Amino acid sequence: MSVTPVPTADLYDEHGEDLGICAVQFRRLGGRHLYAGPVRTVRCHEDNALLRELLHTPGEGAVLVVDGGGSLRTALVGDLIAGAAHASGWAGLIVNGAVRDSVALGALDLGVQALGTCPRKSGKTGEGAVDEPVTIGGVTFRPGDTVYVDDDGVAVLPAAH
């Protein structure tokens, strides 16, 4: 499902408090500044096996919200995984955790927001959960909601709208 990106300030002006505004000040690390799509989620703490597997499936314009528990100890996404996401048709990634290969990520036409960077690889046990609601920055991201991202922030429009 393709969603037309809209600046988050314009969305807020239209929807007001019905729009969830994520309080986390993510860093933009991908090459795409403005992106939007249906929410998919993965919860994984310092382990990116589930994330990697999911990003190798057709993204169909979705945005993957990754709840890494806010850990900056290991990177959940690097250039290979982000490259697979781009090739698989994902619109972007919002990572509540760290990424690596930031220069390469910046060259990809993919939205990537993260808390920061870390050169250390993550574990590969496959622990975690896919497509369950995750709460980050006071906003709950549910599969099927629509997320909009730009340099002003991350906004979520619940599926009921």
CATH at 152: 3.50.30.40
Query: Residues 63, 36: contact at Cβ < 8 Å?
Result: yes
Band (pLDDT 50/70/90 cuts) for residue 38 is very high
- Rounded to an integer, the average pLDDT of 52-77 is 97
31 is a domain residue:
yes
Of 108, 129, 113, which Cα lies nearest the Cα of 45? Answer: 129
Residue 2 falls inside a structural domain: no
Residue 147 lies in a domain: yes
Residues 100-147 pLDDT 10s:
999 999 999 999 999 999 999 999 888 899 999 999 999 999 999 999
- The tokens describing 161, both together, are 């709208």
Q: 101 is in which domain, residue-wise?
A: 8-157
Asked if residue 67 belongs to a domain, the reply is: yes
Examine residue 131 and state whether it is found in any structural domain, yes or no: yes
Is 1 part of any domain?
Answer: no
CA gap 122, 73 in Å, rounded = 9
Give residue 125's pLDDT: 87
How would you label 102-139 residue by residue, b for 16+ Cβ within 10 Å and e otherwise?
Answer: beebeebebbbbbbebbeeebeeeeebeeeeebebbeb
* Closest CA relative to residue 39, chosen from 72, 67, 78: 67
Number of domains into which the chain is organized: 1
SS3 category, 62:
coil
The Cα–Cα gap between 33 and 30 comes to: 7
Whether this model's pTM surpasses 0.85: yes
For every residue of 73-102, DSSP letters joined together read: SSEEE-HHHHHHHHHTT--EEEEEEEE--H
What is the Cα–Cα distance from 85 to 92, expressed in whole angstroms?
Answer: 8
**Token match 């100890």: residue?**
73
